[in-house]
Amino acid sequence: MALNLLLGQTLGFTGDPFQQPWQEVTRHRRDGAVLVEDGHIRAVGARSTLTTEHPQANITDYGKDLIIPGFVDAHVHYPQTAIIASWGKRLIDWLNTYTFPEEMRLSDPDYAAEVAGRYLDIALIHGTTTMASYCTSAPGSVTSYFEAAAKRRMRVVGGKTCMDRNAPDGLVDTAQRAYDESKALIDNWHGKDRAVYAITPRFSPTSTPEQLHALGELWAERPDCLMQTHLAEQTEEIAWVRELFPNARDYLDTYAQHGLLGARGVYGHSVHLESREVDQLAEIGASVVHCPTSNMFIGSGLFDLMGLAQAKVGLGLASDIGGGSNFSMLRTMAAAYEVAQLRGMAAHPAQLMWLASEGSAKTLHLQGKVGHLGAGAEADLCVLNLNSTHAIDQRGRNASNFWEVLFPTIMMGDDRAVRQVWVAGQPL
C-alpha cells in the first residue's frame, strides 16, 4: 500500500483537557508530520524525523495549515438535512411542523438515498468524517445511510428511530416492530465495513413503556451496540414526560426503568438535568452530547458544560442537524464557547477542539479509532487553513501564540477553512 507523509502543523491530545490542565495533554507541533498507510496513521512526529525515516513516502506539504483528526459529530438527524434553518417556535412545534412531515418523505428509498448522500457530502465539506445519526422509523432510511457511508468509506453510527405514539401514523411502529426491525438492522450492519449501530428510541414521549422495554431487552442482548436518545432538552418536554411517566423519579429514570441506561448510552442535549440525573450518569459512565446551535436556535437553554465536566460526565459535541442551524463543527465549537460564556466560564480552544474530536469519539466508544491524531488511529483527517478569510487572516497576524492563531478560525471559520479531508487514508 502507498505510504503517504503529510506535512504541516499538527494538534493532538494525550488526555482530557477538562480533567487535566490543557497544557499537559495538548501536543502541538509547528513542524509536524503524519505518516499514513493502509487506512491508518502509522506515526505522528517532527517532519525532519519522519521524512528522514521514510524517504520513499509520497509527500503532501500543507505548509502552515493545521492537520487534525476529522471532526466527530456525536448527534445528528440526517433526515432533517433539507429542513435545516426552518423558522420555528419550540421543540414540539418544530417536530410537528417540519421534522415529522420530512421524515415521512424518507419512506421512499430513493429519496432517503438522495438525502443521505447529500448530508454526508456536506458534512465532509465541513471536515466532519464521523457522525452519529438518527435515521427515520423506516428501516430503508437506515440502509440508505449506511450504504452512502460505505460508498464514501466513512465510519458512522446510526439507527432506526423508534416511535409508537405521539407521532404521525406514517412514522409510528409498535414495540414488536421496533425490536424486530432494529434487530434485523443490527444483524445486517453493525460492524460491517465501518458501520456502528445505535439502538434509537427518539425520546420517552414518543415511546410507550412497552416499546422502551422492548428496546431495553434488545440492548441487553446486543450490549456491543450503542443506545442513543434525547434527554431533558426543553422544560415543556420535561413536564410532558412527568405526565406520561408519573411513576418515574425524573426524565432519566424513564430510560433506567426499561434497561436503557448504561455506559454505552448517549443522551443528546441534557440541558435541564437534575442533580440526581447528573450523579447517575456519572456513576454509570454514560455520556451526554452538547448541541449548542440547536439549543439556541430552538430556545432550549444553556448547557452546563463546565459543571458536567466537573461532575465527570462523559461529554460530546454535536451540530444536531437540522434543529442545529449549521453543519460546521467550527461553528458548533464557537456556539459552545458562547454558551459557556453565558454561564460565566470561558472554554479554552484546546477544550473545544478536544470536544469536537477526542471527546465526541469517546462518547461514541470510538476512542483511539477516530477523532485521534496518533499511531494506530484510522486515518480520517482534516486539514485546516488558519488564514481562510481576510477577517481571520488579519486577526492571526496580530497573534502572539498558536492558540491566538487557532481561536479566530474556531469563532469565524466555515467550510472555507477546510483545505483537505482524508477518509480511510485517502484524500477527497
The predicted structure's pLDDT at residue 355: 98
What cell numbers appear for 79 in the block? Answer: 433526515
pLDDT by residue (tens digit) across 177-220?
999 999 999 999 999 999 999 999 999 999 999 999 999 999 99
Give the pLDDT of residue 90. 75
* pLDDT in the model for residue 139: 98
Reading the block at residue 105, the C-alpha cell is: 418523505
Q: Is 344 exposed, middle or buried (0-12, 13-18, 19+ CB in 10 A)?
A: exposed
User: The sheet that has 58-69: what strands, in order across it?
Assistant: 40-46, 26-37, 3-13, 58-69, 381-384, 418-423, 426-427
| Domains of the chain by residue range | 3-69+372-427, 71-363
What CATH number is given for 3-69+372-427 in this structure? 2.30.40.10
Cα–Cα separations (whole angstroms), residue 238 to 9, 202, 204, 289: 45, 14, 10, 17
Alpha-carbon gap, residue 239 to 108, rounded angstroms: 35
Would you state the pLDDT for residue 93? 82
What residue ranges of the chain have pLDDT lower than 70?
A: 1
Q: Which CATH architecture has domain 71-363?
A: Alpha-Beta Barrel (3.20)
pTM over 0.85: yes
Helix (H, G, I), strand (E, B) or coil at 427: strand
pLDDT digits (tens, 9 = 90+) for 353-390: 999 999 999 999 999 999 999 999 999 999 999 999 99
Instruction: List, in sequence order, every beta strand (DSSP E) within 177-290.
Output: 195-201, 226-231, 265-269, 287-290
CA distance 221 to 255: 17
What is residue 319's predicted lDDT score, i.e. its pLDDT? Answer: 98
Could you tell me which residues are beta bridge partners of residue 27?
Answer: 12
Residue 1 pLDDT: 65
pLDDT attached to residue 85: 86
Residues with Cβ within 8 Å of residue 21, at least 6 apart in sequence: none
